[in-house]
Amino acid sequence: MTHTPGLRTRIKICGLTREQDVDAAVQAGTDAIGLVLYAKSPRHVSAARAAELARRLPPFVTPVLLFVNASPDEVRAACDLIPAAMLQFHGDETPDECARAAAGRPFLRAARIPLDSSQSFDLLRFASDFSAAQALLLDAHVEGYGGAGKAFDWSRIPINVSAHLVLSGGLTPANVGDGIARLGPRCRTLAVDVSSGVEASKGIKDAGKIEQFVAAVRAADAYLGSTRHEHLL
């Protein structure tokens, strides 16, 4: 099964650290916010701080807690503070480690795609291994486990991936529409995730850029929907 052009592309703004940035993401119409619980990230927040930010969210906007090689106890402690959260495993976690830490909660698993095209990455095998994940988040394989604003070669994604995908890594208002058009037909559904592309500086979001990003996604959805309609006529 592949993505149907014209479906609404869901949007996650990741790496939020301030109340005003949470409010800006909500106001712009995003579907989820990402809170980074990885101490080495410049966008890191504590679990207690993540809970404060998550309490600002209205219904139907999902907080996503990002972990990198965290212990199940760390994950559970954060989940106790933010019961409505979805989880995102962005390190070297195995399928069993993800399942154990998630303990039945929905989770995303990051697939870190090498920037060097000579290095292979079998996304179909990865999707099979992590079939328990609600979606696979595609990010560039960079030092520091993401957030570097680097885009991988989108043509490396197979034509038919039987999974929900979240495109991340180097997205901006200028290129997200192209990403949706190119990768949407290759998967069951496609969502997008942006961090550095809507920032004034690391961990500090720009409300105007968030609005531009959301507008670019909606424009891409509208264009693909109209194109599909024309083909049906």
Q: Which residues are catalytic?
A: 14, 139
- State which H helix or E strand residue 109 sits in: strand 107-114
Sign of CA dihedral 67, 68, 72, 74: negative
What burial class does residue 88 get, using C-beta atoms within 10 Å of its C-beta: 0-12 exposed, 13-18 middle, 19+ buried?
buried
- State which H helix or E strand residue 122 sits in: none
Sign of CA dihedral 218, 223, 228, 232: positive
